[in-house]
Amino acid sequence: MIKKLKKLCKLGQLQIMNLRHNCIKNIIDGKFIENSFPQIKDFLIKGDPGLTAYNNLGIEDYYNYYYSYGRYFSPKNILEIGVRYGYSLISLVKGAQESNSFSSAIGIDNQSYESGSERIAFDNIKSVTDKFKLINANSQKIGNLKTLVGDTRFDLIHVDGDHSYKGCLHDLNITKDILAENGIIVIDDIFLGSCRVFQAVNRFLKDNATLFDVQILNCFRGHALLRKKIIGAVSSVG
C-alpha cells in the first residue's frame, strides 16, 4: 500500500507540474511532522474504521499530520468541511493551541456519512475547546460560505467533504474567497479510489494558477496542501 501511494504521489506531482509549471513548493518541512500525538486514540469510537486503521494498517501517525499543521501554520481561525466524529478537527485545534495561536473553529457537516455524528463530534471537540461551532449544512448547496461564517477569514481550511470530482471542486471554489492571505487549504484523500479528489485539485489549481502554491504529502490516502499567495507577491507563471 505504501509503495503504491509513493508511486501515486510522484505521478501526482508530475501531473500538477504539467498544469502549473513551478507550483510545487515545500510548504511544510516533512521533518516537522510530529510522532507524539497518541491522545487522538481516546476519541475514536469503538467499531469506527479509524480504529481499525490504527490497528491493522500501521497508520497511527495519520492524525499527527493534522496536529502538525496546527502547530506549524499556527492558525487563528480554522474551518473544516466534513467533520464526522471530529478527529481531524481536534488534532488541528490541539496543534494550534500548542502554538498559542488558536482562537476559534467552525465545522460544517450534514451527517450524510454517519447519522448522529454531530452529537458525538460536539462532545469530542468540547473536551478540548469551547471556542467552536458546528453547522449542520450541505456544502454542496452553498454558493457563498459567508452566509454561514460571516466575514471571518480562515488561516486554515480542511476540505474533507464530498469526494466526487464535482463535489470536491465545488468545496474548493467556495473556500478560496474566505481563506486569509498566506492561508492553507488541506485536502484529504487525494489518492482515494479513482483519485477523483486529486483530479479536482488539479482542476482547481489550473483555474487559479497564480493564486496558490501546492505540496503533495504521502500520508495514508494522501494530502494536498494549498497555500494562498500574498497579494503583491504573486510571481508570473512560465
Cα–Cα separations (whole angstroms), residue 23 to 12, 63, 116, 204: 12, 26, 40, 13
Determine the pLDDT at residue 37. Answer: 62
Cα–Cα separations (whole angstroms), residue 206 to 19, 57, 233: 6, 34, 19
Q: How many Å apart are CA 222 and CA 88, to the nearest integer?
A: 14
Determine the pLDDT at residue 186. Answer: 97
Q: 187: closest CA among 227, 133, 151?
A: 227
Rg, the chain, Cα only:
17
Number of H helices, E strands in the chain: 8, 7
170 exposed, middle or buried (CB, 10 Å; 0-12, 13-18, 19+)?
buried
Determine the pLDDT at residue 113. Answer: 76
pTM of the model: 0.85
The x, y and z cell numbers of residue 53, run together, are 486503521
Neighbours of 137 (CB within 10 A): 15
Q: Hey, what domains does the chain have and what are their CATH numbers?
A: 2-228 (3.40.50.150)
Rounded mean pLDDT for each run of 10 residues along the chain, 238 residues in total:
51 49 66 66 64 54 86 96 92 93 96 85 93 96 94 97 96 96 95 86 90 85 90 52
Determine the pLDDT at residue 51. Answer: 57
